[in-house]
Structure formats: structure tokens, C-alpha cells
Chains A and B, each alone.
Chain A
Amino acid sequence: MVKSAFGEVIASPGTTFRTVVRRESKIVWNKAAVDALYAGMTDAMDEKMGQIRDDAAAHAPRDPETARARGVPMMADTARVAVYAMGKLVSGTGERTASGNKPRGAKTPADQVVGFVMFDSPISHFAELGTIHEVARPFLIPAFNRNIGGLAGIVVPAMGKRVRAVR
């Protein structure tokens, strides 16, 4: 027999109880803040990709005579950046080229920020990796390794700046 604090019988021995959990709170997304986080990450990604692009372009092949003869820009002048946030191109050129705005097969998931540094030349990977008659002269991978460090030092302030603007 169960009694209340005032002595009333509130349940007989045959009564069964069922526990009901009352949800006291629920999560409310601050969508503006979430968007600000993505925007901050995008700002940081754009800045970091720009650093890698500039470094790689400084070490990429420059052969003005060959470029002039073929009527194409020098490989070093074809470097570019594209940044995708939430699956959409948000920074970099939107111009579509023969190879598109991003490497073939590259994924740009809707919940991520993805950056690309590209050389818009059909033979840039041969310069990077080498051919039968030419040794590899890598310029993109070393530029990536030289510049990818210190990412947190760019991401955190960029996110903070965007989030503070939401308040």
C-alpha cells in the first residue's frame, strides 16, 4: 500500500506503476550560429588554399616559349582554388573548364567544407609525378606539406569572428 505525504492511500498493493520520463528540455539549434561556423571554416579554408596555391604556383613549371608555341598559358599561371561549403561552390572561380570546378571523383558532402587547389592544365600531373622521359618535379604536394600546418591558427579566429557577428 502506497500513501501520499498526507496519509491518503494512492495505490493498492495490486497497482502497477509505469515510469514516464518527462522531457524537461529540448535542443534548439541556433541556425544562424551554425551557418556562422560554416562561414568561418569557409573563410579559413579559402585563406589556406590560397597560401597553398601561391606557394605551388611559385614552384610550378614556367616555360613561356612552349606556352607561346602551344597558345596556352604557362602552367604556373593556371593555379586556382575552389572551396565548397555544404555542397555548394562558395569561393573560387565558378567558371567551368574542361576538367570542371573540382577534380573528377572528388566529393563535396553537404555537411562539410572542402577546398581544392588545382592546376588547370592537362599535363600538370605529369610534371608533378614524372613521365618516361622526364623525372618528377613535384610542386603541389610539397606546397601542401609546407603550408597545411597551423590550420587551427586560422580556423579558430575565422570562426570566432563570424560567430561574434551573429550575437
Chain B
Amino acid sequence: MTLLSPLGAAIAELAADTAVSAITTRIRLIEPGAADAKSAGSYVAFVVVSVLDAPWQAPTATASVTLGLRCYAPTFATAEALYLACAAVFHRKGPRIATSRLGIYNSLVTGGGTFDKDPDTSQPLVHGIVEMNVSIQAIPA
């Protein structure tokens, strides 16, 4: 039995979106890349996607995945634009099959849109919470 990563599918969807890639192509899993964390004056835009919870729904062989988005940018305006672009990728989207053959039944932005500053670098960011109902196994071609 091959199990697929919902996080990988989410990253792939974000990376494939033109509105997101127009702002940044730095889409990161779990933690920022080595060159992403900058000091004031040299901030760069990037997105960090992490899994906040992913309980399996045994009766239906699906998982309810909660993803956390952190959209960093040099300014709050850009961070918000990045967040909105990311949110549009997931919000109220219906059934689809990821390139990895993971089945995504639906996805919804359930929280976030809140402005903040990173406590370490003071870089502007906007948080987001995404719920995805996905298959556990690959969908046959």
C-alpha cells in the first residue's frame, strides 16, 4: 500500500498557481529555506506550509488534513496579496486529483488572514488555515 503526502500535494498546487508564482516561487515545507530568513531591509517573499493535524477517517479511508500557511513578504501589503493568492488556490475547491494521484475531495480556507510579524525577524506575515479532505491512497489512473 502506497501512502501519499497531502502536504506534497498542497505544495504542488501552490507552486503551479500563476498568481502565487507571480509573487514568489519560494514554497516551503515545514520550515523556511536556508536563504529565506533575512533581516529588515532585505526581506523576501516566501510561503511555509505545515501540517497542523491530519487524523485519518478510518471508515472512509480518507484524512482530514489541517494545513497552516505562513505567507511572508517584505511588506504587509505584499504578504496579504500572497496570502490571498494562496487562499484562492484552496478555498471552496472541489474534487481533484493531485499530480501524485492523491485524491482531494474538497478544500476550504477556514481561518487566518491575520496580520502578524515574525517574533525573530519582525518580517511581515499573514497566517492562514486550510482544511483538506483527501484520500489516503493513490487514486488509480
Query: Are A132 and B120 closer than 8 Å at their CB atoms?
Result: yes
B88 within 8 A of A: no
Query: Are B68 and A145 closer than 8 Å at their CB atoms?
Result: no
Chain A residues with Cβ below 8 Å from B52 are 128-129, 136, 138, 141-142
Query: Are B68 and A136 closer than 8 Å at their CB atoms?
Result: yes
Which of B37, B68, B121, B123 has the most CB atoms of chain A within a 10 A radius of its CB?
B68
A7 to chain B, nearest CB (A): 70
Q: How many A-B residue pairs have CB under 8 A?
A: 52
Across the interface, B48 reaches (CB within 8 A) one of A125, A126, A130, namely: A130
Query: Are B66 and A141 closer than 8 Å at their CB atoms?
Result: yes
Chain A residues with Cβ below 8 Å from B70 are 129-130
B39 to chain A, nearest CB (A): 11
A135 within 8 A of B: yes
The answer to whether residues A145 and B72 also contact, given A132-B118, A133-B120 and a CB cut-off of 8 A, is no
The answer to whether residues A145 and B119 also contact, given A129-B70, A130-B50 and a CB cut-off of 8 A, is no
A131 within 8 A of B: yes
B36 within 8 A of A: yes
Closest A residue, CB atoms, query B30: A135
B interface footprint on A112-151 (CB within 8 Å = 1, 0 otherwise):
0000000000010110111111011010011001100000
- Interface size for B (C-beta < 8 A) is 23
Chain B residues with Cβ below 8 Å from A145 are 53, 55, 64, 66
Query: Are B72 and A142 closer than 8 Å at their CB atoms?
Result: no
Chain B residues with Cβ below 8 Å from A130 are 30-31, 48, 50, 68, 70
A26 to chain B, nearest CB (A): 42
B124 to chain A, nearest CB (A): 12
B116 to chain A, nearest CB (A): 8
B51 to chain A, nearest CB (A): 8
A interface footprint on B44-68 (CB within 8 Å = 1, 0 otherwise):
0000101011010000000010101
A129 to B128, CA, bound (A): 9
Closest A residue, CB atoms, query B37: A132
B32 within 8 A of A: yes
A146 to B120, CA, bound (A): 31
Chain A residues with Cβ below 8 Å from B32 are 132
A136 to B29, CA, bound (A): 11
**Smallest CB-CB A-B distances: 7 pairs:** A138-B52, A136-B50, A142-B53, A141-B52, A132-B37, A129-B68, A132-B118
